[in-house]
Amino acid sequence: MRQRASTALFHGAGQPFELSKQEIIAPNIDEVLVQVSLATICGSDLHTFTGRRTAPVPCVLGHEAVGRVAAPTQVRDAYGNPLHEGDRVTWSIMAACGTCEYCNKRNLPQKCEKLFKYGHARSEDPYFLNGGFGEWICLRSGTAIYRIPDAVSDIEAAPLNCALATVLGGLATLDLTDRASAVVQGAGMLGIYAACCLRERGFEIVACVDRVTERLRIVEAFGATHTFNLSETSTVEIEEALYGVTGGRGVDLAVEVSGSEAALVNSLDWLGIGGSCLTLGYVFPHADVTVDAHKVVTKCLTVRGNHNYHPSALGDALRFVEETRERYPFEDLVGAVYPLKEINPAFDRAMQGDLIRVGINPSLEGKPL
Ligand SMILES: [Zn+2]
Ligand SMILES: [Zn+2]
């Protein structure tokens, strides 16, 4: 194989991406070469872009991606079925070894001792096709690869590989039997997915809290039954409203996906006795939060964190979108798609914060869609 691949190299916060062309190295027998058709800019890409967290550089960012298998392969998909050249696929955000303590005994392959995460590693030979913001990506051994159902579009599929799988993986760690009320803290991509997931599980009350009116309007289209703008409503007023709609008991579940310090504090106030708080948003270091632990004890609360996701959650995420795509406008969540060579304006656009997701399509020519 003598093709060259364009990638967008990240050199550090505050520096522009550099478009680089390198020769594609034929994949090993346990690797899969994929031609990327769409990658979306995740909140954690923006954390790296702004320096809120660091990445080894140069790095090809991007982990919410879809593409087509670009060469014959003996690698099988996550269900053990053969993969064929041309198959539309998405893949877990990480590769795991399958043999270490976390992979084997603790059922936490997402915390594998030899964990590799796409879009977070140094781009260097032979692994320079490491991230989604490039024409091609090389999927390593230990990656869970899923075929995308024909009915699900690239735009619907790309963000679910990180955001929806993270939500479903987190919810899977909790027993939600007989739970009917929730508050979701943050109406970005994870919060929007959390709202529709909870509604589909029969939650009657799914309140959502954010500071951006437009995001709260969007989450209403994804099943939120109550929305509260923290810029206009005090936490005391929200607490009164939540206790009001739950017969004075407080909510059964709080899902923290905002990363804001106040979210965990508020969750402990708004949860009822026996409630659970799932926290997914503190994905950057030094997220110091002071809470009244007395509430955790006296309300018999469960506070559960989850990072990355179990690879099976990606299969759940694909199924979820395939089954519910008629009910929720998933395609509207990607507000603009840019060609790869316009990755710098694409990130600037994503930083404006009014679009839930901005996509990059490496084969797109001309102006952004
Ligand atoms: Zn992500
Ligand atoms: Zn492992």
pLDDT digits (tens, 9 = 90+) for 307-335: 999 999 999 999 999 999 999 999 999 99
Q: How far is Cα 61 from Cα 231, in angstroms, rounded to an integer? A: 32
Distance in Å, CA 103 to ligand 2 centroid: 4
Task: Among the bound ligands, name the one nearest to the CA of residue 109.
Answer: 2
Residue ranges per structural domain of the chain: 4-164+310-361, 174-305
Confidence of residue 339 (pLDDT cuts 50, 70, 90): very high
Distance in Å, CA 7 to ligand 2 centroid: 28
Task: Among the bound ligands, name the one nearest to the CA of residue 108.
Answer: 2
67-96 mean pLDDT: 97
The count of residues in the chain is: 369
173-226 pLDDT tens trace:
999 999 999 999 999 999 999 999 999 999 999 999 999 999 999 999 999 999
The per-residue pLDDT for 87 is 98
Distance in Å, CA 211 to ligand 1 centroid: 21
What are the helix (H) ranges across 305-363?
A: 312-324, 343-351
The per-residue pLDDT for 26 is 84
Task: Among the bound ligands, name the one nearest to the CA of residue 119.
Answer: 1
Rounded percentage of the chain residues whose pLDDT exceeds 90: 88
Task: Among the bound ligands, name the one nearest to the CA of residue 111.
Answer: 2
The per-residue pLDDT for 179 is 97
Distance in Å, CA 255 to ligand 1 centroid: 17
Distance in Å, CA 119 to ligand 1 centroid: 9
Q: Establish whether domains 4-164+310-361 and 174-305 are of one fold.
A: no
95-110 pLDDT tens trace:
999 999 999 999 999 9
Domain range 4-164+310-361, its CATH number among 3.40.50.720, 3.40.1410.10, 3.90.180.10, 3.30.70.141: 3.90.180.10
Distance in Å, CA 123 to ligand 2 centroid: 22
221-240 mean pLDDT: 98
Rounded percentage of the chain residues whose pLDDT exceeds 70: 98
Distance in Å, CA 16 to ligand 2 centroid: 34
Residue 42 pLDDT greater than 70, yes or no: yes
How far from the centroid of its chain's Cα atoms is residue 7's Cα? 22
The per-residue pLDDT for 3 is 80
The residues, ordered by sequence, that sit 6+ positions from 236 with a Cβ below 8 Å of its Cβ are: none
Distance in Å, CA 250 to ligand 1 centroid: 31
Distance in Å, CA 101 to ligand 2 centroid: 7
Domain 174-305 class? alpha beta
The per-residue pLDDT for 367 is 64
The per-residue pLDDT for 243 is 98
Distance in Å, CA 98 to ligand 2 centroid: 5
The pTM is what?
Answer: 0.94
Cis amide prior to 126 (ω within 30 degrees): yes
The residues, ordered by sequence, that sit 6+ positions from 181 with a Cβ below 8 Å of its Cβ are: 203, 204, 205, 206, 207, 242, 245, 246, 251, 252, 253
Strand partners, 21: 6
Angle made by CA atoms 350, 359, 362, in degrees to the nearest 5: 130
71-87 mean pLDDT: 96
Q: Are strands 334-339 and 251-256 parallel, antiparallel or unpaired?
A: unpaired
101-152 pLDDT tens trace:
999 999 999 999 999 999 988 988 777 899 999 999 999 999 999 999 999 9
48-69 pLDDT tens trace:
999 988 889 999 999 999 999 9
Distance in Å, CA 118 to ligand 1 centroid: 10
Distance in Å, CA 121 to ligand 1 centroid: 14
Confidence of residue 252 (pLDDT cuts 50, 70, 90): very high
Distance in Å, CA 97 to ligand 2 centroid: 4
How far from the centroid of its chain's Cα atoms is residue 125's Cα? 27
Please provide the average confidence, as pLDDT, over all residues in the chain.
95
Task: Among the bound ligands, name the one nearest to the CA of residue 100.
Answer: 2
The residue type at 182: A
Residue 1 pLDDT greater than 60, yes or no: no
Task: Among the bound ligands, name the one nearest to the CA of residue 96.
Answer: 2
Distance in Å, CA 303 to ligand 1 centroid: 22
Confidence of residue 2 (pLDDT cuts 50, 70, 90): low
- What protein residues have CB closer than 5 angstroms to ion ligand 1? 42, 44, 162
Distance in Å, CA 117 to ligand 2 centroid: 13
Q: How far is Cα 96 from Cα 108, in angstroms, rounded to an integer? A: 10
Distance in Å, CA 116 to ligand 2 centroid: 10
Instruction: Report phi then psi at 351, rounded to 5.
Output: -70, -20
The per-residue pLDDT for 272 is 98
Strand spans (E) along the chain: 4-9, 18-23, 32-40, 64-69, 88-95, 116-117, 136-139, 143-147, 181-185, 205-210, 226-229, 251-256, 271-279, 302-305, 334-339, 357-361
Q: How far is Cα 252 from Cα 177, in angstroms, rounded to an integer? A: 10
